[in-house]
Amino acid sequence: MTGLLEPQLEYAFELRVEVGPPTHIGRSASEDLNFTPITGGTVEGSLLSGRILPGGGDYWVTRGDTTQLDARYLIEAADGAVIDIVNRGYFRAADEVLRRAEAGEPMTESDIYYRTAPVFQTDAPAHRWLTGNQFIGMARGEPGFVCIRVYVLR
């Protein structure tokens, strides 16, 4: 077909989300429900910078070898504007990679499937562009942090 566009991604910023210890909630024999508090962090990039406010969290449920994530937290932009983020996605990794991560070794984005689709809300005019575009995130874990490179789909 002619006239069809190929997706184009533009790097926007990186979220370095500081997390606390997870709390096991439980659900059933086939699912494992947990909550991880978000305690702070930073936002750095050419399209947005600021900090992640403490108080949000990530509910995640593991079914088989895939974990479904549902995080919600607030960003305070460098200009003081507050931005709400809902970040949903999926994580999976080979058992060997998970063992390495539990031992404190770093995971790279090529070691794991850790993808998100953040959605933003704000009434700040300078950041309203966040509310009208689709984003994807490429995530990786680091000790005490979840780091997410965020791209806007053009």
Q: In CATH, what number is assigned to the domain containing residue 24?
A: 2.40.160.20
Q: Strand (E) positions, 7-144?
A: 9-19, 23-24, 31-44, 50-63, 66-77, 82-93, 112-121, 135-142
CA dist 149 → 3, 13, 24, 25 (Å): 30, 6, 27, 29
Match 């593991």 to its residue by tokens.
62
- Please state the domain count of the chain: 1
Is the residue at 117 inside a domain? yes
Q: Give the model's pLDDT for residue 27.
A: 75
Query: Which amino acid is located at 150 in the chain?
Result: V
Q: Give the model's pLDDT for residue 107.
A: 80
Q: Give the model's pLDDT for residue 102.
A: 82
Domain that holds residue 85: 9-153
Whole-angstrom Cα Rg for the chain: 16
Is the residue at 4 inside a domain? no
Q: Give the model's pLDDT for residue 108.
A: 84
* Contacts of 32-41 spanning 24+ positions with Cβ under 8 A: 32/61, 32/62, 33/59, 33/60, 33/61, 34/59, 34/60, 34/61, 34/62, 35/59, 35/60, 36/60, 38/71, 38/73, 41/15, 41/16, 41/17, 41/145
- DSSP letter for 6, please: P
Is the residue at 44 inside a domain? yes
Is the residue at 1 inside a domain? no
Q: Determine contact, residues 73/82, Cβ cutoff 8 Å.
A: no
Q: Give the model's pLDDT for residue 66.
A: 95
Q: Return averaged pLDDT per consecutive 10 residues of the chain, 154 residues in all.
A: 89 98 86 96 98 97 95 98 98 90 83 96 98 97 92 96
Q: Determine contact, residues 130/120, Cβ cutoff 8 Å.
A: yes
